[in-house]
Amino acid sequence: MKKLTIALIIITLLVPKQSKAQSNGAAAAAAVGVGLLAIGAGIAAVEDMKERAELTATQWVLANHPELNSFSLKTLDFNGKKTKDMSATSVISFKIQEFSPSDNPKLDGRKQVLLAFTSYGWISDQGIDFNKVQWYLIDSDEWLNMMVAYAKVASKEKSDAVLKDVLNNGVVVNKGIKAKGKSEIPFFKLEGDMYLVTDYSSEMKLIYNEKTLGIFLKKTENLVQMGRAAVIDTHEFLFQNN
């Protein structure tokens, strides 16, 4: 998508110069038309992938969590990894919220986030292979525990109580935990090749590196760095109106 956008910008910049010569007008218009068609096709492909991902996520929930009888599932972040992350993995997140069945129901029940960690080869010219995806369903308590563990390894603050209090009123950003518009708990300043690691669970390790939350999946031995926006979106969804 980024390449298509750049191509369109280049075409747009070139058209005024070419339009000076009437003979080049048709060619310029054709170039713009091709560019717009490419952009449209790219957007349509991404939307199709999102719909397929939501369907597969819904099927996973139905198969693995029969206690969920009435819920909404929507994509939260389709590509939640850090832009500069060169790993073969990515993370897609879905927001799930329960509701009471009625006409025009309100989403006012329990919130959870489903994280889908992809591995190498999950997407190709043949489409999406969801057999190469690991699923993790987390609620606000689990996410808070993850952020506390991450903050403890990334900062000088080691008190669970202090960190939970700040996180309940703030959010993790690149440089630390921010609450009410100001930095409350700064994270250590590290070089790009330095890593701070905490063994969070039997399934994952949490990594602090380059001001980024890294998640190392023990099963596949893959490391994915979650982008700042994905971390903030997850936190705000789970804790807004709490």
Query: For residue 3, how many other CB atoms are within 10 A of its CB?
Result: 9
Alpha-carbon dihedral of residues 140, 144, 145, 150, nearest 10 degrees? Answer: 140
Residue type, 80: G
Q: Output Rg (C-alpha) for the chain, integer angstroms.
A: 22
pLDDT in tens, 41-57: 445 555 677 888 899 89
Rounded-to-integer distance, Cα 30 and Cα 19, Å:
12
Which residue type occupies 34? V
CB-based contacts of 2, cutoff 8 Å, min separation 6: none
Given this model, what pLDDT does residue 132 score? 78
Query: Quick one: average pLDDT of 64-69?
Result: 95
Residue 156 to residue 140: CA distance in whole angstroms:
24
> How many residues appear in the chain?
242
Closest CA to 149 of 224, 206, 232: 206
**What local confidence, expressed as pLDDT, does residue 227 receive?**
85
> Is 124 in a helix, a strand, or coil?
strand
Is residue 179 over pLDDT 80?
A: yes
- Per-domain residue ranges of the chain: 1-64, 65-239
Q: pLDDT tens, 191-234?
A: 878 999 999 999 999 999 877 899 999 988 888 888 888 999 99
Q: What's the whole-number mean pLDDT along residues 4-17? A: 45
The token duo for 18 is: 């070419």
Confidence of residue 27 (pLDDT cuts 50, 70, 90): low
> Quick check: helix, strand or coil at residue 159?
coil
